[in-house]
Amino acid sequence: MADAAIVVELLPILDDNYAFLLRREGNSTVVIVDPGAAAPIAETLAERSLQVGTILITHYHADHVAGVEELAMGTHVEVIGHGADCHRLPKLTRTVEPGERFQLLGTPVEVLDTPGHCQGHISYYLPEAKLLFCGDVLFTMGCGRVGEGEPETLWNSLQLVAGLPDDTKVYSGHEYTLGNAKFAAHAFPDNAEIKARLAKIEEMRAAGQPTVPTTLGEEKRTNPFLLAGSAERFAELRTAKNNFRG
């Protein structure tokens, strides 16, 4: 299938952010997701003779958009973001709405409404390629802080994401996993799978390996916020994580 040829590459930026580069084999025009810094991305593109065709934005925070204007400067780059947040997203050329579906790299993309970290947060789901780019809503073994809205808003967004197939690869915006895993082991001390995953993540981070992407199935089994069971319990866990110093 054509979408099997989609390649996703992690682009580490800033202190602990990830942007993502999507491309088709043999094509020099690429998609960039959440470019929070321009220089390291531009350097990678130049080294490999690649050019940006499309930029996808999940939300307006600077560590996800600060590189947009420079990367799109002087070129015919399509910059896509949530229409409701167009007043605080840089250089948009196309607005999309939750529930909308469009084509990218020859495969469909669905726009998911995932507020809670901020009201205008959206995620991009590629169902045929089984890829999810979810910004700061869901992390490996964690989730974003409640920024705009109530905890229930973010809980509902997590439930929407959790309804996707278990084999979906989840690409989130930060390398927060070691701290997330320590909190998960603290919050669910009798969960053997969480303990085992913490040990594995400690090994990975000690070796300098990224913990992104994860799979949705693994998150459903070991992410404390997906194990919460209710909006009330989720709010308790999110507050506890805010204060956790493990």
Question: Could you tell me the CA-to-CA distances from 38 to 13, 35, 52, 69 in Å, in that order?
Answer: 9, 7, 12, 8
Out of 82, 85, 121, 174, the active site residue is 174
Q: Is 136 a catalytic residue?
A: yes
Q: What are phi and psi of 110, to 5 degrees?
A: -110, 135
Separation of alpha carbons 119 and 145, rounded Å = 12
Sign of the Cα torsion 149, 155, 160, 166 reads positive
Out of 63, 82, 85, 121, the active site residue is 63
Q: Which alpha helices (H) appear in 19-146, and where do they start and end?
A: 39-47, 62-65, 68-72
Q: What are phi and psi of 55, to 5 degrees?
A: -120, 130
SS3 151: helix
Q: Is 117 a catalytic residue?
A: yes
Out of 34, 82, 85, 136, the active site residue is 136
Burial class of residue 105, CB neighbours in 10 A (0-12, 13-18, 19+): buried
Out of 3, 34, 64, 186, the active site residue is 64
Out of 61, 82, 85, 121, the active site residue is 61
Q: Is 61 a catalytic residue?
A: yes
Out of 3, 15, 59, 76, the active site residue is 59
Q: Is 76 a catalytic residue?
A: no
SS3 7: strand
Out of 34, 82, 85, 117, the active site residue is 117
Q: Which residues are catalytic?
A: 59, 61, 63-64, 117, 136, 174
